[in-house]
Amino acid sequence: MTTKAVAMEEIERDNGSFDAAAFSRQALSSSHSLAAVFDHTLLKPQTTREQAIKLCEEAAEHRFACAMVNPAWVSTAHAVLAGSGVPIGTVLGFPLGASLSISKRKEAVELVKLGAHDLDMVLNIGMLKSGMNDRVQQDIRGVVEVAHEAGAIVKVILETCLLNIEEKLRASELAIAAGIDFLKTSTGFSTGGATPEDVAMLRGVAGSRCGVKASGGIRTLADAMAMLEAGANRIGASASVSILRELQQD
């Protein structure tokens, strides 16, 4: 066994276990179960109001975990999904993570007022790479405090394609210490998306302390299966409906 594998085993033992195999089997047991792990997502800058509404209608029809829209469409999503029981997700500090911490916090305040429940924020990558651990943690905690006070949740996007192994591990620990609800791999707008290897690494750090969301480039049922088997318990995708159809056809 490699030194890295031994280290990951120790991390998982310290942080409590998450049974990825059992979760994956349950999620893939029916289209309803699989839908419940998907953040149905449309974050392209050219997204129109009509497209955002359609996304929300699909989320309500299939009972996805949430409908993930850009901040400008949160109020529209709230109107469409009112009474459906499907939460609204949105992004902040997106896609670079380089906004001022006070800007992220104020954005969080306004987004929860508009009805957002899932806040996916981008970690300050430059500060992480500069070794400014306290600032990175404070940046995250500012959003977490606002969200949790309002009954919302926070997913921190690490943008794993831009980080080395040490940075991924350190970022994960800082985010968990700040109180986040999910570690998330990617924005989908950088040089790469989710990989099973990164998902497994994040789950190794998280254990059962928080969720792990795989996002970026997940377009097929095989992609989704690989992420679930690696330890994801939430998946962000714009291809959610077609992935469900693949499962139904099997």
The single residue listed with the structure tokens 């997913």 is 155
Angle 196-16-167 from CA coordinates, rounded to 5°: 50
Greatest distance between any 2 Cα atoms in the chain: 53
Determine whether 54 is an active site residue: no
Which candidate in 155, 181, 184, 198 is catalytic? 184
Closest CA to 23 of 13, 8, 36, 14: 36
CA dist., res. 179 & res. 32, Å (int)? 30
- Listed in sequence order, the DSSP H helices in 46-86 are 49-62, 74-81
Determine whether 113 is an active site residue: no
Work out the burial of residue 109: count CB atoms within 10 Å of its CB; fewer than 13 is exposed, 13-18 middle, 19 or more buried. middle
Question: Hey, how many other C-beta atoms are within 10 angstroms of the C-beta on 250?
Answer: 6
Work out the burial of residue 162: count CB atoms within 10 Å of its CB; fewer than 13 is exposed, 13-18 middle, 19 or more buried. middle
Closest CA to 128 of 94, 172, 93, 95: 172
Q: Estimate the crossing angle of helix 133-149 against helix 165-177, to 10 degrees.
A: 40
Determine whether 213 is an active site residue: yes
Structure tokens at 156: 């921190």
Structure tokens at 10: 């120790």
Which candidate in 104, 155, 168, 213 is catalytic? 213
Closest CA to 12 of 227, 206, 214: 206
Which candidate in 39, 120, 198, 223 is catalytic? 120
Residues identified as active-site: 120, 184, 213
